[in-house]
A and B are shown apart, each in its own frame.
Chain A
Amino acid sequence: MSRLSNVSSTLAQETVEELYKDIERNIQTSQPGLCPVDLAAAFLHLSHARSCGKCTPCRVGLGRLEELINSVLDGKADMETLDVIETTAESIFRSADCAIGSEAARMAVKAVKGFRDDFEEHILHGRCKLQNFKSVPCVSECPAHVDIPGYIALIHEGRYADAVNLIRKDNPLPATCGMICEHPCEEHCRRKLVDDAINIRGLKRYAVEHEGEIKKPACEEATGKKIAIIGGGPSGLTAAYFLSKMGHECTVYEQRDKLGGMLRYGIPSYRLPREILDREIEGMKLTGFKTITNFSIGKDMSFDELRKQYDAVYISIGAHIDNKIGIDGEDADGVVSAVEMLRGIGDGKMPDFSGLKIVVVGGGNVAMDVARSAVRLGAESVKIAYRRRKADMTALAEEVEGAVADGCEIMELNSPVRIEKNADGKVAAIWLKPQIVGEVKWGRPAPVNADAPEVRIPCDRVLVAIGQGIESAQFGEAGIPLKRNRIAASDEGDFEGIEGVFSGGDCVTGPATVIKAIAGGKVAAANIDEYLGFNHLITSDVELPPVRFADREPMGRVNMTERPAGERIKDFCLMENSMTDQEACQESARCLQCDHFGCGLLKGGREFKW
Chain B
Amino acid sequence: MVNVTIDGKKISVPEGTTILKAAKELGINIPTLCYWEGLNEIGACRVCVVEVEGNIRLPAACNTPVEEGMVVRTNTKKVRDARKANVELILSEHNSNCTACVRSGNCSLQKLANEFNVGEIPYRKHLQEKKGNTSFPLIHDYTRCIKCMRCIQVCDKIQASSIWDLVNTGSRSTVDLASSYSLEESKCALCGQCITHCPVGALKERDDTDRAIDALEDPDKITVIQIAPSIRTAWGEAFGLSPEEATVNRLAACLKEIGFDYVFDTNFSADLTIMEEGSEFLSRLGDKENNKFPMFTSCCPGWVRFVKANYPEFIDNLSTAKSPQQMFGAVTKSYFAEQIGVDPSKICSISIMPCLAKKHECAIPVMNDACGDPDVDIVLTTREVDRLIKSEHVDPANLSDIELDSPLGIGSGAGNIFGATGGVMEAALRTAYNLVTGSNPDPDAFKAVRGQQGWKEAEFDLAGSTLKIAVANGLGNAAKLLDALKKGEVEYDFVEIMACPGGCVGGGGQPIHEQCEMAPLRAPVLYQQDADMKLRFSHENPSITKIYEEYFGKPLSEKSHHLLHTDHHKWTMPNGN
A and B: real partners? yes
A window 531-561: CB within 8 A of B: 546-553
> What CA separation (Å) do A66 and B63 show in the bound complex?
39
Are A35 and B170 in contact, with the CB atoms below 8 A?
Answer: yes
A321 at interface, CB cutoff 8 A: no
B43 at the interface (CB under 8 A from A): yes
B65–A38 touching, CB < 8 Å: no
Q: Which of A74, A131, A133, A549 has the most CB of B within 10 A?
A: A549
> Of B42, B152, B170, which is within 8 A of A34 by CB?
B170
* B55 contacts the other chain (CB 8 A): yes
B168 touches A549 (CB 8 A): no
CB atoms of B168 and A38 under 8 A apart: yes
The answer, yes or no, to whether B149 is at the interface (CB within 8 Å) is yes
Q: Given the known inter-chain contacts A128-B168, A549-B59, please indicate yes or no for A602 contacting B44, CB distance below 8 A.
A: yes
Contacts A546-B65, A551-B57; A601 near B43 (Cβ below 8 A)? yes
- B152–A133 touching, CB < 8 Å: no
A73 close to chain B: CB less than 8 A: yes
Q: Which residue of B lies closest to A550 (CB)?
A: B55
A75 touches B130 (CB 8 A): yes
Q: In the complex where A601-B43, A602-B42 touch, is A38 in contact with B172 (Cβ < 8 A)? A: yes
Q: Is A274 an interface residue (CB 8 A)?
A: no
- Would you call A131 and B42 a contact (CB within 8 A)? no
A510 at the interface (CB under 8 A from B): no
Query: What is the CA–CA distance of A512 and B435 in the complex, to the nearest angstrom?
Result: 71
A426 within 8 A of B: no
The CA of A128 and the CA of B55, in the complex, are separated in Å by 38
Within 8 A of B (CB), among A10-31: none
Residues of B close to A54: CB separation below 8 A: none
Contact B181 A125 (CB under 8 A): yes
B residues less than 8 Å from A548 (CB atoms): 67
Judge if B167 is at the interface, Cβ distance under 8 Å.
yes
A126 at the interface (CB under 8 A from B): yes
In the bound complex, residues from chain B placing their C-beta under 8 Å from that of A125 are 181
**Which of A73, A126, A601 is close to B63, meaning CB atoms less than 8 Å apart?**
A601
* Total CB contacts across the A-B interface at under 8 A: 64
A549 to B51 CA separation, bound complex (whole angstroms): 11
Residue in A33, A546, A547, A602 whose beta carbon sits within 8 Å of that of B152 in the complex: A602
* Bound-state Cα–Cα, A548 to B176, Å: 32
Q: Which of A34, A42, A74, A131 has the most CB of B within 10 A?
A: A131
Is B167 in contact with A131, judged by CB distance below 8 angstroms?
A: yes
Q: Is the CB of A35 within 8 A of B41?
A: no
Known: A547-B64, A547-B65. A35 touches B172 (CB 8 A): yes
Find out whether the CB atom of A551 lies under 8 angstroms from the CB atom of B56.
yes
A603 vs B166: C-alpha distance in the bound complex, in angstroms? 9
Q: On chain A, which size bracket covers the interface?
A: 20 to 34
Contact flag A549-B169 (CB < 8 Å), given A125-B181, A126-B130, A601-B41: no
- Count, chain B residues at interface, CB 8 A: 29
Q: Mark B22-47, 1 if CB is under 8 A from A, else 0.
A: 00000000000000000001111000
* B52 interfacial by beta-carbon distance below 8 Å: yes
The interface residues of chain B lying within 8 Å CB-to-CB of A73 are 172
A127 at the interface (CB under 8 A from B): yes
How many Å from the CB of B524 to the closest CB on chain A? Answer: 34
Q: List B149-165 residues whose CB lies under 8 Å from chain A.
A: 149, 152-153
Cβ-defined contact, B55 with A551, below 8 A: yes
- What's the nearest-Cβ distance from chain A to residue B258, in Å? 42
- In the complex where A75-B129, A551-B56, A602-B42 touch, is A34 in contact with B64 (Cβ < 8 A)? no
A602 and B149 within 8 A (CB): yes
A127–B174 Cα gap in the complex (Å)?
10
A551 to B356 alpha-carbon distance, docked (Å): 46
Q: B168 is contacted by which of A131, A546, A547 (Cβ under 8 Å)?
A: A131
Given the known A-B contacts A35-B169, A75-B130, A128-B169, are A549 and B64 also in contact in the complex, defined by CB atoms under 8 Å?
yes
B300 to chain A, nearest CB (A): 29
Q: A551-B55, A552-B57 are in contact. Are A127 and B167 (CB under 8 A)?
A: yes
Chain A residues near B65: list those with CB within 8 A. Answer: 546-547, 549
Please provide the chain A residues from 24 to 50 with a CB less than 8 Å away from any CB of chain B in the complex.
33-35, 38, 42
Interface check B574, CB cutoff 8 A: no
List, in ascending order, chain B residues with CB within 8 A of A601's CB.
41-43, 63
Does B218 touch A at the CB level, under 8 Å? no
Cross-chain pairs A/B with CB under 8 angstroms, 20 sampled:
A35-B168, A35-B170, A38-B168, A38-B170, A38-B171, A73-B172, A127-B168, A127-B176, A546-B67, A549-B52, A549-B55, A549-B64, A549-B65, A549-B67, A596-B63, A601-B41, A601-B42, A601-B43, A602-B44, A603-B166
| B binding-site residues for A, Cβ under 8 Å | 15-16, 41-44, 52, 55-57, 59, 63-65, 67, 129-130, 149, 152-153, 166-172, 176, 181
Contacts A131-B167, A602-B152 aside, 17 further interface pairs with beta carbons under 8 A come to A34-B169, A34-B170, A35-B169, A35-B172, A38-B171, A74-B129, A127-B176, A546-B16, A546-B65, A546-B67, A550-B55, A551-B57, A601-B41, A601-B42, A602-B42, A602-B44, A602-B166
Q: Which 4 A-B pairs have the closest CB atoms?
A: A546-B65, A601-B42, A549-B59, A35-B169
